[in-house]
Amino acid sequence: MAAEGRSERFIKRRQNRIERRRQEILAAAARIFAEKGYAATTTREVAAAADLAEGTLYNYFANKRELLLAVASEAEAPMEAAAMAASQIRDRAGLVTVVEQALDLPAPRLAFMRTMLAEAWVDDHILEEFAVIRLGRIHRRLTAFITERVADGTFRQIDPALTAQLVIGMFGAVLLPTLRGATPPPDADQRRILAESIVGLLLDGILTRGS
């Protein structure tokens, strides 16, 4: 049993080591895919970025496409978090907070999301499996939230699904430059201002009250 315990520990350690290496490769791949696009990236470049020999990649991923799918998979977490937050909004202040947090994309995940979104643009499988499913989840939660508020009279008689879609669009407009790598991520102050503006626009519109 002691021997077994030891070998189990060894196996665990090895698996950890392997998993860690896998993550390093994915991070390297995401960085380069995000920069040059999947199709224009060579496995040699990925290997170099991950500080590995080319052949070693194939001990971790069956082929180049698996690498892409794994990167797209890893883009999941931030969108998941956004979806979770969306369903727990209670009041105006809560809404601002949620928007504010959603604007705080963790920098290391940027490359994953950028890769996924860029590929979704031309790759139907990526689009269906990742973008549609995950954005769909966010959209459904937002729609449900809006439907409730319309029912309880807080919101006007608006189309909840369309409104949810437009809200996602506003988000996109704000996050896109950062995702594209054109501007640095907004800092905490900027996020608060953006969040308040978005929520203000969304709740109150832009007309002067009474006009």
Partner DNA sequence: GATGAATGAGAATTCATTCAT
Partner DNA sequence: TATGAATGAATTCTCATTCAT
Tell me how far the alpha carbon of residue 79 is from its chain's centroid. 4
CA neighbor of 136 nearest in space, from 171, 157, 161, 106: 161
* Closer residue to DNA (CB): 115 or 143: 115
8 binds DNA (CB under 7 A): no
Q: Binding residues for a second copy, per CB under 8 A? A: 34-37, 39-40, 114, 117-118, 120-123, 127, 132, 146, 153-156, 158-159, 162-163, 165-166, 168-174, 176, 180, 182, 194, 197-198, 200-209, 211
From the list DNA, a second copy, none, which binds 113 (C-beta under 5 to 8 Å, kind-based)?
none
* Closer residue to a second copy (CB): 84 or 173: 173
Cα–Cα distance for residue pair 164/145, rounded to 1 Å: 9
List, in order, residues 6 or more apart from 153 with CB less than 8 Å away. none
Q: Tell the smallest beta-carbon distance from residue 88 to a second copy (Å).
A: 19
Q: x-or-dash pattern for DNA, window 43-82, by CB under 7 A? A: xx-------xxxxx-xxx-xxxx-----------------
Q: Tell the smallest beta-carbon distance from residue 1 to DNA (Å).
A: 21
* Closer residue to a second copy (CB): 11 or 173: 173
Phi/psi region, residue 177 (left: phi>0; alpha: psi -120 to 50; beta: rest), is: alpha
Q: 210: part of which helix (H) or strand (E)? A: none
Question: Could you tell me how many residues of this chain bind DNA (CB under 7 A)?
Answer: 19
Cα–Cα distance for residue pair 166/173, rounded to 1 Å: 10
Whether the Cβ atoms of residue 76 and residue 134 lie closer than 8 Å to each other: yes
